[in-house]
Amino acid sequence: MMRPAVFLDRDGVINHALVRDGRPYPPLSLAELQILPGVAEALCTLRSRGYALIVVTNQPDVGRGTLSRHSVDRLHQRLQYELTLDAILTCFHDGAAGCDCRKPKPGLLLRAAAALGIELRASFMVGDRWRDVQAGQRAGCRTFFIDRGYDEEQPESWDYRVGSLPEAARIITESAAL
What are the sequence ranges of the domains in the chain? 5-151+160-177
Residue 37 banded pLDDT, cuts 50, 70, 90: very high
Residue 68 banded pLDDT, cuts 50, 70, 90: confident
Query: Can you give the pLDDT at residue 65?
Result: 77
pLDDT (average), residues 111-137: 97
Q: Say if residues 165 and 124 touch (Cβ distance below 8 Å).
A: no
The angle at the Cα of 106, spanning 102 to 111, to the nearest 5 degrees, equals: 95
Whether the pLDDT of residue 14 is over 60: the answer is: yes
How many C-alpha atoms does 103 have within 13 Å on its Cβ side?
Answer: 28
Query: Can you give the pLDDT at residue 113?
Result: 97
pTM of the predicted structure, to 2 decimals: 0.95
Higher pLDDT, 95 or 165: 165
pLDDT (average), residues 138-157: 97
pLDDT (average), residues 64-92: 92
Whether the pLDDT of residue 150 is over 60: the answer is: yes
Write the single-letter amino acid at 149.
Answer: G
Q: What is the 3-state secondary structure (H, E, C) of the chain?
A: CCECEEEECCECCCECCEEECCEEECCCCHHHCCECCCHHHHHHHHHHCCCEEEEEEECHHHHHCCCCHHHHHHHHHHHHHHCCCCEEEEECCCHHHCCCCCCCCCHHHHHHHHHHCECHHHCEEEECCHHHHHHHHHHCCEEEEECCCCCCCCCCCCCEEECCHHHHHHHHHHHHHC
How many C-alpha atoms does 53 have within 13 Å on its Cβ side?
Answer: 23
Whether the pLDDT of residue 178 is over 60: the answer is: no
Percent of the chain residues topping a pLDDT of 90? 85
What is the chain's mean pLDDT, rounded? 94
Query: Can you give the pLDDT at residue 2?
Result: 92
**What's the rounded Cα separation, in Å, for the pair 59 and 93?**
7
Query: Can you give the pLDDT at residue 94?
Result: 84
Q: Say if residues 81 and 28 touch (Cβ distance below 8 Å).
A: no
pLDDT (average), residues 158-175: 97
pLDDT (average), residues 82-104: 91
Higher pLDDT, 53 or 96: 53
How crowded is residue 48: how many other Cβ atoms within 10 Å of its Cβ?
A: 10
Query: Can you give the pLDDT at residue 127?
Result: 98
Top-level CATH class of 5-151+160-177?
alpha beta
